Structure 1
């Protein structure tokens, strides 16, 4: 019993107030925790019990109107467990029998001795302590039953034997195992360690539990069971030993819950992580980072770390802020990228690291629609950035050159053209005709020089372009005479449409200029590009590299820039262009490295 530390409220019912007051005084002397209130009848007593709470009732038996037994019966209707002591001067077996039948807690006869109050005080204390203990125990039992009924699993007590025979089981027993609680309890029913525990886990379970109990009072294990319908499920169990007074291990008690879904998810995540680990270990020219939902690197690998003084093992298991070699400004950028990726976004950022520049592309890793991790791929783009900067400088020089050509050459040529017009008005001479032809050649040179300068730029905007459609459009826009076109190139290329058009027009013009108006031009497919071929005399092997040089031409009065422009446009796209012999013995220009649209 738990000791009483606070006051004990006692309702004393007696039709003799003087005796009741004396009894209250003696009780107060015996224990100062007693707080006694006196009423003179059972009716008054019932009214006080209805208004306030008391720990014990003491009542006389022989009272007018309602005797002590009748008052007791009234009290028991509303307060079945309240301690009730009958303190009466009328002692008889009949009264005692009736009192016991009515549910009296104790029975004491009045006497003239002061010792009776010490006995009465002791009986009150015992009754109140027992009542409070029962109430506390009942509340604890209620709370425990509520807890068990709401637990996602079962609680148990079993003997510490290899079969783990269950003495008691409560909770979601049937949901977990398919067996009822009654079928598992006792020695004659289903035995946990023999009929439910998975055969492959029995020996390991026994060894693990015994080892953990030897090291301490508790154990924690994960294992499989086989349900009544043959399904295998994963369980998590936490328990402790129950020891006898002599210190011997008597039994086990604990809690078991189903973790099958968690185990399946862990397996899926492990398989997913394994796939990404394979990617990371074999990723060329970059690094792969696999970041969990706690922003910690789980996988860090790839050849991108080779030029850096950073060991991937120094990053695994840490968050960005915990990596010592990462500067503060880089940490802020990467943390923002992590957060966006784990929120479901794909990101692309460029970050400087020491003397290099990295491009980081990210993608959320999803399992069953939920983002479980982030995949970050980092590439060293330092050399690419340097090339782009050099190309930018080159483009600026070309732009400057184009402005000079356009302004400083066109103006004098325009003046010459005007003067020729004036001279023709005054006289007619073959010399003027020769001058006019030379002027036209000069203007064509200026146009081709400007085109060549502009085509040297990097292509930044591309789109899916139907190759056959563009070829046929170019053929219609060029003076082809009686020439023939055969197209077998029904592919969609990713290119700058306008510059692809100029490349094809220049190749078509080149075929007509070098072969003649009756040439047959064929455009066909290659595995990674396309070709433009003719049935002319072809180009000698020794001259095939020179044809792409500026001002190279075998046709009189040709500027020689047409194929140079073809080469520049191909380079701007990242393509390769070569010349070889066609099936008909003519020239065949092959453009490779082309990306096709899906």
Structure 2
């Protein structure tokens, strides 16, 4: 609310105050009858315009030209503060002296002239100018403050330290004298702040403002009155018999959130003379969003760090388990296989063959577990020739009565492309796919099952960026392929449920996809998509 200072004799000052009551602004009018009281008021309160008579008491109590002397004092101590002289004294000397000291207006109270209308016009004009200057100055301060706050949000990584630094930054720039962050709770807002800085005038617990802010998701303001000598607060508009003994407080609540999540409320207290304009409200709303983004980033980073720590712990456990499997399990397994070899030399009992097959299965499980452990290692990507990788993988697998065919496909050079990949891990992918074809592509029963020939085709479709590995075997029973790449799932009673899980994991880490289906000829068909050949 604008505040006017009227200096003059009673009833003159009362008449001026009454005349100003019909002005454009709902201003507070402070009347004084002495120069000392006028200057004291200017020192202690924010005044938007001074209205004085011409013949008013000066520092010595003389009334002659007292208004001009007050104007000189205002210019010396308060710069360009608007001063309007309202008087019936009119002469060239007084006008010249007033103009020389920068009087805002010299309104003549003469019969036949609309003196009251002119007074209101000049006072309203002065108020508009003061409000515009104050608004611009406060906006500059707030913009400067927000730049500092933004730097705080960027530099601080710990949540608690960020909130503490934020509150300190907000109170160090003379815009807000108190700042506090209140965490949102299921039942509303925590009355005790998580972080706070500055000095609050009165009770800092939730008075309803923060709760309304959270519920509405908008910047909320309230002028509160604190009874002098009392910690209780009331709404500024409430009826209060002790209103004249109240201190007015301006509190602002800013919602802090990210997207649809509400983290809490930033409560600010500022000078009661401070006017929160629409532009400042918009800036504070953006600040709330920025703080919400920063808090979300910190929480996301903390969650990722916790996840990384957990993964490191699990990796260490997996490595210890792999070491246990590799040494403590494999050693007695080798001893058992040695004894089976001796028994096979001495007897043709069919049970010995069953034991040997079971030991081979245990060995396969151990190999797959060790491969799964190595698959968790970080990928080393480099330009890789797929043709070389596929050929090396085929050579590394026992492939009796099986043939590999790398089809011409649709690539420009008629072969497999160069890609960005980890060659050793990618080779493991194809080894597992080829091993799957050899072990599960032939019939499970029959004396001549192993004698059945098998052909594995590898084709690359450049148009779709898809590599196809297909065989002409028996395919998947009942077309059941949905869960093949999950750990522990297998399409055969002799499978370990690990090999294809490794395939899916490694291809996903390369940014590729894999699906399985029965091909047109009935055999198993794996489609690896998302491949981008290198130039």
Normalised-by-shorter TM-score class: 0.3 to 0.5
What is the TM-score when the length of structure 1 is the normalising length?
0.35
What is the TM-score when the length of structure 2 is the normalising length?
0.39
For the pair shown, the structure with the greater C-alpha radius of gyration is 1
Q: Which has the higher contact order (CA 8 A, sep 6+)?
A: 2
